[in-house]
Structure 1
Amino acid sequence: MMELILKPLAYLSIKWAIDDIDGKNKKPIFDWFFPIIFAIIVTAFFYLTLDFNSANFKIFFESKGFEVLGNFILALPGFLFAALTAVVSFGNTELDITATVNPPINKDGHEISRRRYLANAFSYLTFLSLALLIATIFINYAYSSNIIKLGISFYKFGYLFTAFIYFTFVFQMLFVLIITLYYIGDKVHQPSKYPKNQDDKKK
């Protein structure tokens, strides 16, 4: 049962074919490296701007910025699900073939079609946006209702740790979305490698 629920996470196991001289798969850079780096920068900013002695100070999770981010995340699942539906149902046969340069490879080592890659990407983005929406609601409730009763040191650590984890996945969603938009806008228009329905047969 859990395997079915977590199936959208299969996107993270997809690799880009090795086509650079260093022989490295560059996809984890966008999936994890950039999101973690940006989350560290944001968390460091929150740490440097902490001022619990000021009567006007509010942590990010009690600010208007968090409200705006929450509204943005609230609108995403419907948009991403519509994009996923469009990718799956769109009749362009160019989506059913494998790219010539740097085709995506699933965890079994098979080169997959453009449609399969985009479907996996939008499936993961939809899953992640729903998870972030639930996390946003819980964080908003936890901080606005003051149910977190901890000493100041633990409160600071919990705030910064929560911010780091939260923004890691927020930035991951943004970077995966950017790469997916690049794939739609440029990659799918590059020359094809295999005829229709041959991509899943080639290892």
Structure 2
Amino acid sequence: MDNFFFDFDNTLADSSNVAVVATQQAYVAKGLVAPTREAIVGYMGVPIEVSFAQMATVPLSTPELEALFTEFRQQYQRAERTGITVFEGIPATITTLNARGKRLYVVSSKHSTPLQRNLDQVGLGQSFAAICGSDRVAHYKPAPDGILDLMARFDLDPQHSVMIGDAKYDIRMGHNAGVATAGAMWGAADPASVKAEKPTYLLDTPAALLEL
């Protein structure tokens, strides 16, 4: 493979606890019933613009949702300072792939600004040729827009490309984009759902990426 598309959350870095805490605190701050940890984890990989309305126990208006999004982002930014850690083996693997001349990208359900901030925080800010946050696409994961955007911008061959992610939505996005897919099992909260999508590869460690 020549082109590697990475998800960020729970693929490059462990951020699951931050997402759970920030989500629950945001709902409570807005007088809503906090979703369970299981519900939040089940929606990881889906942008909050989609998941938050579905996790609410009452219908929310557009202004109410926007206020909830803002509260979540504030809670997340406070929690991320100490709660996000890069997975063991990721820095060395990324360094080796870059040294081999591979082209590395990040496709995330986060907006681009917090995505870049989180990459900087875990020491990977300069490791990727480009990133694509959810603010750059018309349709969110599992739609292929993020991958297609990067392939068009950098004239990449889908036959030599792979999407790496920890969630079923990442694998579906890769399938929809016509690229190979790799389940990042080291970060998968629901391994069975990832396997059910029949990714091209199932990888237990980041170092296994060096064999693709």
TM-score normalized by structure 2? 0.25
TM-score normalized by structure 1? 0.26
Q: Which has the higher Rg, Structure 1 or Structure 2?
A: 1
